[in-house]
Amino acid sequence: MTRLRAAGVKFRNDVVSGPGGRQVLCLDPSGNVIELFESAGD
């Protein structure tokens, strides 16, 4: 997230962690919502 923020990416929320992994929502240059997800890797 640090590198994306430095590149100007805007995030809609903080990282949310749950049993399946972690996710955060950000916006592309057109304002579309993109979900970034990292699996817990069970």
Q: Over the stretch 12-26, which tens digit does the pLDDT of each residue have?
A: 999 999 999 999 999
Q: Which residue has the tokens 């990416």?
A: 9
Bridge partners of 37?
A: 23
Q: Tokens in use for 5?
A: 């923020």
Average pLDDT of the segment spanning 18-39? 96
Q: What is the pTM of this model?
A: 0.80
Nearest CA among 33, 37, 7 for reference residue 24: 37
Neighbours of 27 (CB within 10 A): 13
Question: Which residues, 6 or more positions from 33, have their beta carbon under 8 angstroms from its beta carbon?
Answer: 12, 25, 26, 27
| 41 — pLDDT class (breaks 50, 70, 90) | confident
| Structure-model confidence comparison of residues 2 and 41, the more confident one | 2
The per-residue pLDDT for 6 is 96
Q: Which residue has the tokens 């979900």?
A: 35
The per-residue pLDDT for 42 is 65
pLDDT of 36 strictly over 90:
yes
